[in-house]
Amino acid sequence: MGPKADSKTRRRRPVRPAAAGARAREVFPLSPLGGQIRDLRAARGLSLARLAEEIGKSVGYVSQIERGRSEVSISTLKAISDALDVQIGWFFQGYDPRVPAEHGRVVRRENRRRLNFPGTGIEEELLSPTLTGEAELILSTFAPGARSGDEQVSRMAEQSGFVVAGELDLDVGKQTFRLRTGDSFRIGRGEPFSAANPGPEVSVSLWVIAPPRY
């Protein structure tokens, strides 16, 4: 699993400057953008007031965005993306707008939301259609030698997983487990942990996190 966790400080990605001219005034469609912002904020454990503070907007304005009652400019969406530690493209993945019946039900492979951790060799893909359910499903890929960090972190959620390919070293508290293809595991709510790929091949693991804490 990537380095994202409740007990660690959120890493920042630089916000690219808004495009000049007409594009800087462009706004994005309201639906389903507002709900995606709300769901990711909740999964991050960030309050509405804190998000508003981080992007320099009022609580009321952010609330209206989340409820689909206010337009979102490029510059504001980039600020929100930075505060929630995702790339702006996150909000335009996860569904096919041409197939409304699949929204919230189905995620096609080509539409998965992906989150990269630069310099770590780790990529995560959100397989769940939304972050509003009782649990979330994540596919985590570790390059050879990649590790989630030098320190253990914890999530206020129960985590279970299955190693799809390769090997995964899982440190939970003072215990270390070497997991291989076909092995599965569980990390209790609040237990400190870290993960690494000790092998020469790519490590792929499927994680179930309940409640969602992406």
Last residue of a domain, one of 100, 118, 140: 100
How confident is the model at residue 23, as a pLDDT? 39
Q: What is the model's pLDDT at position 21?
A: 39
Output phi, psi for 60, to 5 deg.
Answer: -60, -40
Residues in the chain where the model's pLDDT stays below 70: 1-31, 214
pTM of structure? 0.71
Residue 7: predicted pLDDT: 42
Under a CB-based contact definition with an 8 Å cutoff, are residues 179 and 206 in contact? no
Domain boundary among 100, 116, 142: 100
Q: Give the pLDDT of residue 1.
A: 64
How many residues are there in the chain?
Answer: 214
Its domain, for residue 193, covers: 105-210
Residue 129 and residue 37 in one domain: no
Of 100, 123, 148, the last residue of a domain is 100
Residue 113 sits in the same domain as residue 96:
no
Give the pLDDT confidence score for residue 2 in this predicted structure: 60
Which CATH number belongs to the domain containing residue 178 in this structure?
A: 2.60.120.10
The H or E element that residue 93 is part of is none
In a domain, 3, yes or no: no
Query: Is 153 in contact with 192 (CB distance < 8 Å)?
Result: yes
In a domain, residue 114? The reply is yes
Instruction: Tell me the per-residue pLDDT of 73-93, one tens digit each, with 9 for 90 and over.
Output: 878 988 998 999 888 878 877
- Residue 17 CA to residue 82 CA, distance in Å, equals 12
